[in-house]
Chains A and B, each alone.
Chain A
């Protein structure tokens, strides 16, 4: 059982480049989310989705786009990368809000130069 899979593990971008961080889960979870983790800031919610075709903004959505066309996949797009987006990005999923734990991937470490 793979759980939550994130790719790539590492990425270096130049300012202005675009890229998509991939997230896939095989647990048939309706809820999926993206977080960024920065030193001293903890995990901050970027976007989340409660099912295919439904997405909403978290605390820090600016500069990021998401879509949810299938239950399994929830990609995060950076349209024009900025150095402030240098961070570690985590994808997480759960079957039931609050009452069930979040299952996290192992993260994508992104550096924007």
Chain B
């Protein structure tokens, strides 16, 4: 069955550094992969979408890569700030309508 793996352990980094989060998937070749941010007590909020024919996508300090050969997406936050501290989820579409989410990686940016 489709499986998405994200680092379950929290990632602590120093303010100003680049945070890199990993999303690995198996048994499927999704046409789209999405990244979300979730703050405590809130629903996930969409950040970026990348298509299978795109290697890289950028939005301000955020960058996502998508390697369909490795079945992996990397999510980068450059010049990280304490306000970037949150849980980050990756998601892919299985079939036409079933979105499958990873368990998320908790990021803490230390001032």
List residues of chain A with CB under 8 Å of any chain B CB: 4, 31, 33, 35, 40-45, 48, 50, 56, 58, 90, 92, 97-99, 101-107
Contact = CB atoms under 8 A, between A and B. Distances in A.
Contact of B103 (A41, A45, A98): A41
A108 B110 CA distance: 30
B32 interface: yes
Given A42-B89, A42-B102, A43-B89, A104 B97 contact: no
A106 B41 CA distance: 7
Name which of B89, B91, B103, B104 has the most chain A CB atoms within 10 A of its CB: B103
A48 B4 CA distance: 20
Contacts of B86: none
B62 interface: no
18 contacts: A33-B99, A40-B8, A42-B4, A42-B101, A42-B102, A42-B104, A43-B89, A44-B101, A45-B98, A45-B100, A48-B97, A50-B97, A97-B93, A97-B96, A101-B34, A102-B99, A104-B43, A104-B45
B60 to A, nearest CB: 16
Nearest to B46: A101
Interface in B5-22: 8
State the majority secondary structure of interface residues on B. strand
Interface string B40-54: 011111100100000
B29 to A, nearest CB: 13
B79 interface: no
A98 B46 contact: no
